[in-house]
Structure 1
């Protein structure tokens, strides 16, 4: 692992039977095992905010996963969190403890509709920061409004951070989207790379090719976006 002893994943759907991620406990453990095989040793579990999903259920199932990891002597730590779909009541729910922050920190992983307007993203960023949290925009490559010049820098200046999926940089030189994603990483806009793993046969943690490009293409950012910044979340720095 180049410059890293291991990797930290801040976006994953490994909690079983709560959203479109792992369907059962064994699948949760299989995903974790696959992630470990590629160097990931710390994972923040981030199930979607679902209508009837309560933090207590997430925590209970994460504790079950932790117990099984311990039984099987798997070298991986799991932390609580959620991928929060932003809405007018999201901040209130976070403050009430109805939505989970990342690893009980001041950071939240927030997602939007891909077609959300730039003004909406700015307003959400402002409101989240004003409430005392640090927003990390999940899979930032999906937001069409950020494809225009200077949009990243404007949101960053407000205090937001950006997470990109490893899978989004897997394309070759003729893949326009992958080229755009790689350019944003080279420009220093991306703070976190993550798997966004869901289930076996659908968004597995397959990051080997992406890691090879990152270790060569953006050597100066490699440790920051695969470990250091994520570790700051866990430390709540």
Structure 2
């Protein structure tokens, strides 16, 4: 997992934030689409992991360069473009920053910061162990997320181990590193959410839907409903 030294060096401009989603994403998901539900098809909404992954097999690179997944790795991850979305395939490091909770604080996370780039509707930072969200790289010459129609509160489909979790863009991170999501996002996907020792080394796909938004940003149920609709469009249009 990342040493997260980059966060300490980046300063206040590289902030981070997060809903404990529960043991399985289906505990809060709407009823699945008609048809058999087999082991490995756990998801939120009605679009399967296989349907989404089938549309991101090839990459049309839109970033001017590639990103590292950790401080010590080489740059191998491009940001890819598609109809209605951008995506990348990377690892998952755990973001536990934002409001102090029993799971996310200076004792549980050696690199803890008490703010996130994007805030709740009441002006407070996000809650990392409550809200599933994704961290995007801060704007740089490699890629400026805003030019791709990506913004705070935008909807993201995270795919891992045959599961789909809908999240929002909740924070910005280092300019050279990609692949990070909140404690709650990891927990919902069955990934160890410990900010120091958890995460996934690889196999995580992040699909960010262009010009989308959830308001208020902390409304996860809305992220699921909006995300499911956007995922259906993505599958149809790619």
Q: Which has the higher contact order (CA 8 A, sep 6+)?
A: 2
- Normalised to the residue count of structure 1, the TM-score between the two structures is 0.30
Task: Name the structure where helix makes up a greater proportion of residues.
Answer: 1
- Normalised to the residue count of structure 2, the TM-score between the two structures is 0.30
Task: Name the structure where strand makes up a greater proportion of residues.
Answer: 2
